[in-house]
């Protein structure tokens, strides 16, 4: 069927066949479609939606639009985790080495920051020498020898996604659940995964601000991924405050090193990391229950095996071999720091997480335009969790800035984006809900 007929059929609410979808994606990758045709297709899907079978077909067609990875020579379960993005969300940095230390192989293909959300690749680039785009041979060898490697997506992996997303971004069709689902999962399927765990954020700092919308997306992702042959579950997690007590790039790497050294116990971040580790291990069959998975992850941390896996990954991908022992030697600090004083006494009861993320961007720690260069030194650390009692003048957080003017602006912005009340608030749990395939227990 010619492209305009496929567009017309979907525009009129029809169901596209697997062959129709495959031919449209093939034409997209071959450069045979105009931007108008791509945009019209995306808009038709936005308005009319897609059935599960259509989304599965679209996901598979996009996954197979370029190279696909095979891990047949690795005698470990192949697993990964994906987050829909947040502020202070550095879970992947600790989760991959924990999973590797527990017997999984984690070929984690991550992305850069988008809007107010931080990007794993931007954080890793704060480590001198770390190569986020190694050649395929190095990537495969690191995964095989270490158990994990966190790198960036190459242009040959699911190229249809990049071409379609570029048009979605300028045609107001980004927020289509079928297109979001195919975009996320096509890259994961192309990576040759056997199991996948998804972190779907909800709250003021999340793409999905409302729990019902987050659940709808999580269920779509889990349903389609399992239908496409990847054992998948999802956790809906809270993003009504930064997850870690740091937001930025180098400051989040320091946060990661502290976590691996056992300095972040009994935090929201620890709860999230252990929950995802347990999910990955149970889903992959390494353990028989989530409780056993969490215990195994705790052991990997307490014995130092997870820290060792992280150190080996960093070294094998070009970073310093002694980063864990001498972080100050490699992680460059911002020229100045300035505390954010509480404007009055009371309980930290709420915050606008999106605006906190944008404050990091304004400091230079993120991008407003794709070509912007990131200052890895800047960010926010020592962020107090909601539910903390403060007195007027107590530091809520610490700003790391490149200049006095940017520091002052960030301090003023952060003070404005926090709410302080007289009464202690009830704060939500980190994990809202676990989503599994309908056929799974």
Give the Cα-Cα-Cα angle 128, 134, 140 (nearest 5 degrees). Answer: 125
Distance from C-alpha of 249 to C-alpha of 113, rounded to nearest angstrom? 10
Compute how many other C-beta atoms are within 10 angstroms of the C-beta atom of residue 59.
29
Cα–Cα distances in Å, from 137 out to 140, 317, 428?
A: 5, 12, 44
User: Which tokens belong to 135?
Assistant: 């050649």
- What residues are annotated to the active site? 80-83, 120, 168, 183, 187-188
| Phi, psi for 145 (deg, rounded to 5) | -85, -40
Distance from C-alpha of 362 to C-alpha of 227, rounded to nearest angstrom? 42
Distance from C-alpha of 54 to C-alpha of 283, rounded to nearest angstrom? 26
Half-sphere exposure in the Cβ direction for 34 (13 Å, CA): 6
Strand order in the sheet with 395-401: 247-248, 379-381, 395-401, 336-341
User: Which tokens belong to 50?
Assistant: 């897609």
Nearest to 77 by CA among 108, 106, 98, 101: 106
> Where does 147-285 have alpha helices with state H?
159-170, 177-190, 211-227, 250-260, 268-283
Give Cβ neighbours of residue 257 (< 8 Å, ≥ 6 apart): 323, 324, 327
Distance from C-alpha of 82 to C-alpha of 70, rounded to nearest angstrom? 19
Helices (H) and strands (E) in the chain, counts: 16, 13
Distance from C-alpha of 175 to C-alpha of 254, rounded to nearest angstrom? 33
Distance from C-alpha of 20 to C-alpha of 306, rounded to nearest angstrom? 46
User: Which tokens belong to 214?
Assistant: 């987050």
């Amino acid at each position: 069927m010619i492209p305009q007929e496929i567009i017309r059929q979907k525009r009129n609410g029809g169901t596209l066949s697997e062959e129709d979808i495959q031919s449209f994606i093939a034409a997209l990758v071959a450069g045979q479609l105009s931007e108008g045709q791509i945009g019209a297709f995306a808009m038709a899907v936005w308005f009319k939606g897609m059935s599960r079978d259509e989304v599965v077909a679209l996901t598979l067609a996009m996954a197979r639009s370029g190279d696909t990875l095979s891990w047949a020579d690795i005698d470990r379960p192949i697993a990964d985790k994906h987050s829909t993005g947040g502020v202070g969300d550095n879970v992947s940095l600790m989760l991959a080495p924990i999973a590797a230390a527990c017997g999984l192989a984690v070929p984690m293909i991550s992305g850069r920051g988008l809007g107010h959300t931080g990007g794993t690749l931007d954080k890793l680039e704060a480590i001198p020498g770390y190569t986020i785009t190694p050649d395929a041979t190095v990537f495969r060898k690191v995964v095989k020898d270490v158990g994990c490697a966190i790198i960036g997506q190459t242009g040959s992996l699911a190229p249809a996604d990049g071409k379609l997303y570029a048009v979605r971004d300028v045609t107001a069709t980004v927020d289509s659940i079928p297109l979001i689902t195919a975009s996320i999962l096509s890259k994961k399927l192309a990576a040759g995964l056997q199991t996948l765990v998804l972190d779907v954020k909800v709250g003021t700092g999340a793409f999905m601000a409302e729990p019902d919308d987050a659940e709808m997306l999580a269920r779509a992702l889990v349903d389609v991924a399992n239908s496409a042959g990847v054992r998948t579950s999802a956790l809906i997690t809270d993003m009504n405050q930064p997850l870690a007590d740091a937001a930025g790039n180098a400051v989040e790497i320091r946060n990661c090193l502290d976590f691996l050294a056992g300095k972040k116990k009994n935090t929201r971040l620890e709860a999230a990391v252990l929950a995802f580790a347990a999910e990955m291990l149970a889903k992959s069959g390494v353990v028989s229950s989530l409780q056993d998975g969490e215990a195994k992850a705790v052991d990997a941390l307490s014995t130092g095996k997870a820290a060792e896996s992280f150190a080996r990954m960093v070294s094998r991908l070009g970073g310093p071999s002694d980063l864990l022992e001498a972080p100050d030697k490699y992680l460059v600090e911002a020229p100045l720091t300035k505390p954010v004083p509480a404007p009055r006494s009371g309980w930290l009861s709420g915050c606008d997480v999106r605006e906190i993320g944008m404050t990091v961007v304004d400091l230079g720690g993120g991008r407003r335009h794709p070509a912007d260069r990131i200052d890895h030194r800047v960010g926010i650390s020592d962020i107090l969790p909601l539910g903390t009692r403060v007195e007027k003048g107590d530091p809520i957080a610490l700003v790391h800035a490149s200049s006095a003017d940017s520091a002052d602006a960030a301090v003023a912005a952060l003070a404005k984006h926090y709410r302080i009340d007289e009464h202690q608030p009830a704060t939500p749990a980190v994990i809202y809900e676990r989503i599994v395939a309908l056929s799974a227990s």
